[in-house]
Amino acid sequence: MRIYETANYEEMSRKAANILSAQVISKPDSVLGLATGSTPIGMYDQLVEWYNKGDVDFSEVKTVNLDEYKGLARDNDQSYYYFMHKHLFDRVNINPDNTNVPDGTQMDSEKECARYEKLIESMGGVDIQLLGIGRNGHIGFNEPDNCFAKTTHCVDLTESTIEANKRFFASADDVPRQAYTMGIGTIMKAKKILLIVNGEDKADALAKAVYGPVTPEVPASILQFHNDVVIVADQAALSKMP
Ligand code: F6R
């Protein structure tokens, strides 16, 4: 694991954008595994800025997103499909046909999860997977559990995740109760992993993920077993490192 410490969120975003664009420059048809949430917004803004300057070209890039709420339509402004179009896809020259997000409108979980897992395989796997981390150590929507889920699956969201996400909805009651997510096995198959973390509220989870025992109780701790992980985190997020 390589850990880059940055002074603040802006520097974290720039460093992460640097790593992603280096990947795209060295392999223009890279498969990027992408994430949503508040952490990557600054990184996406930075990529768009460099795209506008002519420094990065997304014309051959392919993407697969980590997760999506089950039951939300694509045009719902809280769907991850909507998020990705708003923050990245609609702002750069990526071919929309080359972008993939689990289909939250497909109510047959087994069918959708099998389709998504196969799709990733058919693309030749993920070259670089971007991750954020939840305060409980989750990655994707892989919540603390007593075993690691291997492949793309449907999860029941925990109360703490519903609580954390309700800021995006009119009320906690509007937060979907289920989501589709790549499994831990799917994530671990990515050739490279880029974990970005900011803020003191993530410091405990990050310290446990990097230095604690590898346990499904802290899903991100599995990253200790991946051979190419880069963590870009600001000082606040690194403040609980032993
Ligand atoms: C998002 C995702 C989640 C987030 C995590 C952190 O696609 O899979 O695991 O990365 O919940 O979210 P933020 O960045 O909002 O703190």
Is residue 242 within 8 Å of 211, Cβ to Cβ? yes
**Residue 150 tokens, joined:** 């291997």
pLDDT digits (tens, 9 = 90+) for 17-34: 999 999 999 999 999 999
Distances (CA, A) of 206 to 95, 139, 167, 240: 34, 11, 22, 8
Domains and CATH numbers, the chain: 2-197 (3.40.50.1360)
**Residue 240 tokens, joined:** 């609980």
Query: Looking at the predicted structure, is the pLDDT value of residue 149 above 80?
Result: yes
**Residue 142 tokens, joined:** 């892989």
Q: Is 165 a catalytic residue?
A: no
- Identity of the residue numbered 7: A
pLDDT digits (tens, 9 = 90+) for 51-61: 999 999 999 99
Q: What is the CA radius of gyration of the chain?
A: 17
In this prediction, what percent of the chain has a pLDDT beyond 90?
Answer: 91
The interaxial angle of helices 41-52 and 9-26, nearest 10 deg, is: 50
Which atom of ligand 1 lies nearest, measured to the CA of 80? 7
Binding site membership of 183 for ligand 1 (Cβ less than 6 Å): no
Residue of 131, 155, 158, 165 with the most ligand 1 atoms within 8 Å of its CB, for mutation: 131
End-to-end CA separation in angstroms for the chain: 15
Alpha-carbon distance of 16 to 64, in angstroms, equals 18
Q: Token pair 């954008």 is at which residue?
A: 17
Alpha-carbon distance of 15 to 201, in angstroms, equals 21
**Residue 238's pLDDT band (cuts 50, 70, 90):** very high
pLDDT at 197: 98
Residue of 12, 32, 34, 66 with the most ligand 1 atoms within 8 Å of its CB, for mutation: 66
pLDDT at 83: 97
68, 143, 153, 165: the catalytic one is: 143
100, 138, 142, 198: the catalytic one is: 138
Please tell me the least confidently modeled range out of 38-47, 132-141, 165-174, 193-202.
Answer: 165-174
